[in-house]
């Protein structure tokens, strides 16, 4: 039993002090508490990975937890739960950690206040420079047959659906069911082609144990134009990734290399030679202590390096260095949207954003990407805070340089265009992707893909931005050429001159392999028999002509003409193969 050491303290300020009874071997227990606290600090740092930076909330949380851990260990070694007479002693030992925690709370509170939008509205409004003296038809390249054929048709969900197909090649390499696709589909320009690239992840923790020594064998490339996927095997295995653990976890590797840097989420890119990298934007707080998040540089980590070699570049170096032009995404889309919304909200001060709301604008609900000047630009619609159906314009922001341009265009929001496109095929139940912004004949135009329940693209739509609710100023089609032909005809019917050769449009998704395209055959005749069947939720029509013994099969979603056909109609069928039942490419009334 520990000897009782009583401290008969004098009264202080009329209040009697608590009797402080130190435990036996108090000095040793203090040393043990300090050692345990240091061990806890090391483990907590390894797990939490906070930036050692006074502008990081995580750093204050980490210091607070370490200080609190000392109090906990001191109480444990004093056995205060079983010997409450030592509680005053533990309280006394907690004074310094308590002061530290209180100081942290005060600093965070003051830092939050001086960084708040209430006090710094003007600074927030200037966090991004936006050029407004722009001309959409002059600055956004008008689509021609070649560029229209190369537009991306997949959104992230459709790309994810296709990405898993590329993993079949791993079976021949002895990696059956070992990997899945990591849910990180970065859109970049690769050899002047819009693609999404995705790394791998382990199928489960057991697969990590059996494969981590060798790393990941490659990555997936999804061609957004021809809707094809490819698994690219790297010469050296990919060693560092957000899907790894322990020392190979990318975040942990970065933290020990750059302990004071604050990072955004890493993005996966490949250079012009197909070498994989992780692009890790370095963040800074530019307003007060915690406000005005912005990018000041990036750490580029070679993903297939044995040692995880990396290099840091400032924003200016990334903007101006020819060797770094392949980098496409330094600024995260959500960060750019946040900065633009600050710009649109506080142009006339804080109170105006709440009360009068004069000239207050905000972005629409989502965003997409377009290729411009060999860079990836995020674009989103801009609307007034009092409107939910119409836009005042668009903003395009370069994800490498943060150059921002606002284009004044009135019309419907992207959501309105999605509703309009879906309304054109409502009987088929397709879902429209978030639209791309195109310049067709000088007209701002939404391009959308229409997907079935399996996220497979079935049709395409073009909706005029300014006249989105005019049924005549839009078009759908089962292929790019047909869709564009209908839309161009609508524009010309409204007196808009369009100089685009629709006959030269090629849909790469219809011929995305190395086999030569089959010669198209045609046959004409009168419909002798017509039958229907529903398979997988799709309506199919089987048509027999009096001039041919075969039945020609075609889905209603592929050619809407078949819905109105009857026996006795004279038609021309385009097809490629032979057989008793032949897949038709199109069926047209004569």
Phi, psi of 118 (to 5 degrees): -60, -45
Neighbours of 515 (CB within 10 A): 7
Contact at 8 Å (CB) between 460 and 153? yes
pLDDT the model gives residue 512? 47
Residue 238 pLDDT exceeds 90: yes
Q: Which residue has the higher pLDDT, 118 or 374?
A: 118
The pLDDT tens digits of the residues spanning 555-569 come to 886 777 788 889 999
- End-to-end CA distance of the chain: give it in Å, rounded: 107
| Averaged pLDDT for residues 543-556 | 85
Give the Å distances, CA to CA, from 550 to 157, 403, 530, 570: 38, 59, 12, 16
* 4 pLDDT above the threshold of 70: no
pLDDT at position 453 is: 83
pLDDT at 296 (0 to 100): 97
d(CA 463, CA 470): 9
CA 45 from chain center: how many Å?
Answer: 28
CA dist., res. 70 & res. 494, Å (int): 77
- Which tokens in the block code for residue 48? 């939490």
Query: What's the whole-number mean pLDDT along residues 143-149?
Result: 83
Among candidates 369, 370, 368, 414, which has minimal Cα distance to 391? 414
The answer, yes or no, to whether residue 120 has pLDDT greater than 80, is yes
Contacts of 43 (CB under 8 A, 6+ apart): none
Interval 122-134 mean pLDDT: 94
Q: Residue 577 pLDDT more than 90?
A: no
Q: Alpha-carbon distance 458 to 580, whole Å?
A: 26
Residue 215 near residue 201 (C-beta atoms within 8 A): no
- The structure tokens listed for 404 are 């921002």
**Across residues 7-24, what is the average pLDDT?**
63
Question: Concatenated DSSP letters for 365-401?
Answer: S--EEEEETTEEEEEEEEEETT-SSEEEEEEEEETTT
Contact, 461 vs 448, CB < 8 A?
yes
What pLDDT was estimated at residue 513? 44
311 or 211, which is more confident: 311
Please return the burial class of 506, using the count of CB atoms within 10 Å of its CB with bins 0-12, 13-18 and 19+: middle
Q: Where are the domains of the chain?
A: 11-114, 165-330, 521-589
Given a cut of 70, whether residue 6 has pLDDT beyond it is no
- Average pLDDT of the chain, as a whole number: 87
Q: What angle do CA 407, 413, 416 make, to 5 degrees?
A: 155
pLDDT of 3 > 60? The answer is: no
Least confident of 158-172, 259-273, 299-313, 322-336: 158-172
| For residue 425, pLDDT beyond 90 | no
Is 50 exceeded by the pLDDT of residue 247? yes
> Tokens 């008008």 identify what position?
142
Lowest-confidence segment of 171-185, 252-266, 528-542 by average pLDDT: 528-542
Q: So what's the pLDDT on residue 1?
A: 45
* Beta carbons of 562 and 587 less than 8 angstroms apart: yes
Q: Look up residue 183 and give its two tokens.
A: 């849910």
Residue 265 has pLDDT above 80, yes or no: yes
Q: Helices then strands (H, E): number in the chain?
A: 15, 29
* Residue 312 binned pLDDT confidence (cut-offs 50, 70, 90): very high
The half-sphere exposure of 67 on its side-chain side, counting CA atoms within 13 A, is 18
Least confident of 4-13, 174-183, 364-373, 573-582: 4-13
Element housing 552 (H / E): strand 551-555
Tell me the average pLDDT across 429-439.
91
- What does the alpha-carbon distance between residue 175 and residue 196 come to, in Å, rounded to a whole number? 23
187 beta partners = 196
Written in H, E and C, the secondary structure of 499-516 is CCCHHHCCCHHHCCCCCC
pLDDT score recorded for residue 515: 44
Which tokens is 302 given?
A: 């070679």
For residues 237 and 521, the answer to whether their CB atoms sit within 8 Å is: no
Asked whether the predicted pLDDT for residue 20 surpasses 80, the reply is no
Alpha helices (runs of H) in 115-174, residue ranges in sequence order: 117-125, 136-139, 145-149, 156-163
Res 229: pLDDT: 87
Higher pLDDT: 25 or 345? It is 345
What is the model's pLDDT at position 532?
Answer: 83
Q: What is the mean pLDDT of residues 154-176?
A: 78
Q: What percent of the chain has pLDDT above 70?
A: 93
Poorest-pLDDT segment among 62-76, 153-167, 203-217, 515-529: 515-529
Taking the C-alpha atoms of residue 440 and residue 438, their distance in angstroms, rounded to an integer, is 6
Between strands 436-440 and 443-451, the pairing is antiparallel
pLDDT of residue 5: 52
Measured CA to CA, the distance from residue 112 to residue 285 in angstroms comes to: 12
Q: What is the mean pLDDT of residues 46-54?
A: 96
| Residue 211 pLDDT greater than 90, yes or no | no
Q: Report pLDDT digits (tens) over 62-86.
A: 999 999 999 999 998 888 888 888 7
Residue 524 is inside which H or E element, if any? strand 521-535
Of 118-122, 199-203, 430-434, 512-516, the poorest mean pLDDT is in 512-516
Distance CA 247, CA 260 (A): 18
Mean pLDDT of 526-531: 90
* Domain 521-589 = CATH 3.40.50.620: no
CB contact at 8 A, 282 and 263: yes
Q: What percent of the chain has pLDDT over 90?
A: 48
pTM: 0.80
Question: What pLDDT was estimated at residue 535?
Answer: 54
């Amino acid at each position: 039993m520990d000897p009782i050491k009583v401290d008969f303290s004098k009264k202080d300020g009329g209040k009697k002090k608590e009797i402080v009874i130190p435990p036996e071997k108090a000095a040793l227990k203090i040393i043990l508490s300090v050692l345990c606290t240091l061990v806890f600090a090391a483990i907590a740092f390894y797990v939490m990975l906070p930036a050692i930076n006074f502008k990081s909330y995580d750093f204050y949380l980490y210091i607070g937890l370490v200080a609190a851990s000392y109090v906990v260990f001191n109480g444990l070694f004093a056995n205060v739960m079983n010997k409450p007479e030592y509680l005053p002693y533990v309280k006394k030992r907690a004074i310094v950690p308590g002061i530290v925690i209180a100081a942290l709370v005060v600093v965070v509170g003051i830092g939050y206040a001086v960084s708040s939008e209430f006090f710094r509205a003007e600074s927030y409004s200037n966090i991004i420079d936006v050029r407004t003296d722009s001309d959409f038809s002059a600055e956004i390249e008008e689509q021609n047959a070649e560029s229209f054929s190369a537009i991306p048709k997949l959104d992230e969900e459709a790309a994810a659906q296709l990405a898993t197909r590329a993993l079949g090649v791993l079976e021949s390499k002895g990696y059956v069911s070992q990997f899945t696709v990591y849910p990180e589909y970065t859109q970049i320009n690769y050899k002047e082609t819009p693609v999404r690239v995705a790394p791998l992840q382990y199928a489960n923790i057991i697969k990590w144990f059996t494969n981590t020594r060798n790393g990941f064998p490659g990555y997936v490339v999804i061609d957004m134009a021809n809707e094809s996927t490819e698994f690219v095997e790297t010469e050296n295995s990919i060693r560092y990734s957000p899907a790894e653990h322990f020392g190979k976890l990318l975040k942990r590797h970065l933290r020990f290399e750059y302990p004071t840097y604050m990072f955004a989420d890493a993005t996966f890119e490949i250079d012009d030679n197909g070498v994989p990298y992780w692009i890790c934007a370095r963040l800074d707080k530019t307003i007060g202590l915690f406000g005005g998040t912005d990018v000041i540089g990036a750490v580029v980590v070679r993903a297939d390096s044995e040692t995880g070699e990396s290099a840091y570049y400032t924003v200016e170096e990334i903007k101006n260095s020819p060797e770094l032009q392949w980098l496409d995404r330094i600024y995260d889309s959500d960060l750019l949207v946040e900065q633009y919304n600050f710009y649109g909200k506080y142009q006339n001060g804080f109170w105006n954003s709440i009360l009068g709301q004069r000239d207050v604008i905000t972005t629409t609900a989502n965003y997409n990407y377009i290729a411009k000047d060999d860079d990836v630009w995020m674009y989103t619609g801009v609307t007034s805070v009092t409107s939910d159906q119409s836009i005042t314009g668009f903003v395009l922001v370069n994800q490498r340089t943060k150059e921002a341009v606002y284009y004044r265009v009135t019309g419907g929001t992207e959501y309105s265009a999605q509703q309009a496109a879906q309304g054109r095929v409502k009987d088929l139940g397709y879902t429209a992707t978030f639209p791309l912004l195109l310049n067709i004949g000088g007209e701002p135009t939404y391009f959308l893909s229409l997907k079935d329940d399996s996220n497979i693209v079935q049709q395409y739509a073009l909706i005029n931005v300014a006249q989105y609710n005019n049924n005549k100023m839009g078009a759908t089609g089962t292929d790019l050429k047909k869709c564009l032909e209908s839309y161009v005809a609508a524009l010309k019917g409204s007196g808009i001159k369009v100089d685009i050769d629709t006959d030269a449009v090629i849909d790469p998704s219809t011929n995305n392999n190395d086999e030569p395209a089959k010669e198209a055959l045609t046959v004409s005749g009168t419909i002798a028999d017509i039958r229907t069947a529903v398979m997988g939720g799709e309506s199919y029509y089987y048509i027999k002509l009096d001039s041919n013994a075969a039945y020609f099969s075609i889905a209603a979603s592929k050619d809407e003409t078949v819905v109105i056909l009857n026996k006795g109609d004279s038609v021309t069928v385009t097809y490629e193969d032979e057989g008793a039942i032949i897949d038709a490419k199109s069926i047209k009334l004569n």
